[in-house]
Structure 1
Amino acid sequence: MGRLEGKVAIVTGGAMGQGEGIVRAYVAEGARVVLADVAEEQGQALADELGDAAHFARLDVSDGAAWARVVADAEERFGPVSVLANNAGILRFGTVEEMPVEEVELLWRVNQLGCWLGMQSVVATMKANGGGSIINASSTEGLGGMANTVAYGATKFAIRGMTKGASHELGRFGIRVNSVHPGMIDTPMTRVHGGDLAMEYGASKVPLRRVGHPEDVAPLYVFLGSDESSYINGAEIAIDGGVTATHAFGG
């Protein structure tokens, strides 16, 4: 306990699923957390449950002005932001031939632009206070391709690339930037695309023969947010039960 004592964190997409797991782990380890999301009811309920160490802020991650407000609110309420978990994201399936442009643009705005704006918004406060840790949520689809996820995968590859560049750009200020690449994680975002059947199919493709859960992912975010990972910068870390260890994500 206390691995994040003294840290102030912003967790996007923090109201449910993987983000909720990160928020709970951060508070348990001593951080003060702004959980940012568009899901106001769920986000406020989680903040109320966790008490004074957590605060809910409504955030559309594709809105730069909203980002500025959330960062200013975090600084006023808790102090300088030292950890950003850029976790918010959406999943849409569709072929190159048939996917509507509107869905492609939505993926770009939420997943890619949202990540960019998050990094941009915390640089000043982290530089002024000696550094920090930015953790960007990519995916196994940011490491390899899969049919029907071309647009989604493009955003996750972009996050991986932005992470690499930002790690070089910001490292001299003590700001570490790393990407996390989850595989099939049992969350509301993934369950909406097939429920139990999707989970069963996903598990059949994993060497461990199970899908992951938010509790499997959150400890990695704790580690990367803590001083224990002080020499890890620009890394891409898969947390996928071994999926990307196999050729072409096969069995």
Structure 2
Amino acid sequence: EHGVLADVLEDIKARQRADAQEAKAIRAERDSLKAQFNTLKGEAQALKAQALSVQAQIAKAQTHLSDTHTDPDPGAHAEAQAELDRLCGERDALTTEHAAKVSAQRQLKADIRQNADRLQALKARGETLLENDAAYTHKVEREERERVRREEAKDMSARRSAMRHRAEQHLEATTVTLADYTQVQTAVLSCQAEVRALLERDNRLRAEAARLRGRLTGLAELQGLLAREATLRHDASMAQAQTETAHRIQAHKDCTSHIVQETQVVTEMSSRLELQLTLNT
């Protein structure tokens, strides 16, 4: 149907173009006829003026001819008659030519009226073609809008299908990503628990180290007291005091060595723990 409407519309436009060319030719013909009419009108007016002038000359010639009746010269009368006949003949010729010009003017007027009628008929037909053109153009535009709407509907359906497909793919990818995220979250929670355990162990080790440092301080004070005691008892019993002091000092040295060893162990454990915390972080 769209193709048929388009063909009809194209035929209307072709007829409009042909009518426009014909109207252009008719207007050119009208202008030519008007120019010819104006030319004939001027020539007729000139002929009429000449005829009036000749008529005036005829009146004078008739008067002169009447005057020759009393002229004793017989040749004067004949000459006056000949002049009058010539003027009458010229007047008749001008009158005939003027009549021909007037008749040609009438014919040109008829042609101009016919030209105007043709132009008016073309105008009426052009208006009809314009109405038909508008009607068929409306139909074609409506059909085109319907076609565009159908195409847009098809395109929208295709786009919806594509969007649905992308949504399904995205949903699948999201499901996989959620599983990965859950696994990673579980690993993170496990690492956090391990870090908390390490921190608690570090706190315990630090507390133990502080306790051992307190014991070392007490031992140092004890060593000072023992030294003072040894000094006080030096005069009373040097040998016994030296022996006892030596035993005590040795005992204290052993205890101190043990404490130093424990302190080194605690320090090494603390260093390893700090290194482990650094690596975990």
TM-score tier (shorter)? under 0.3
TM-score normalised to structure 2 length? 0.14
**Larger-gyration structure (1/2):** 2
Question: Hey, which of these two has a bigger chunk of strand by percent?
Answer: 1
Question: Hey, which of these two has a bigger chunk of helix by percent?
Answer: 2
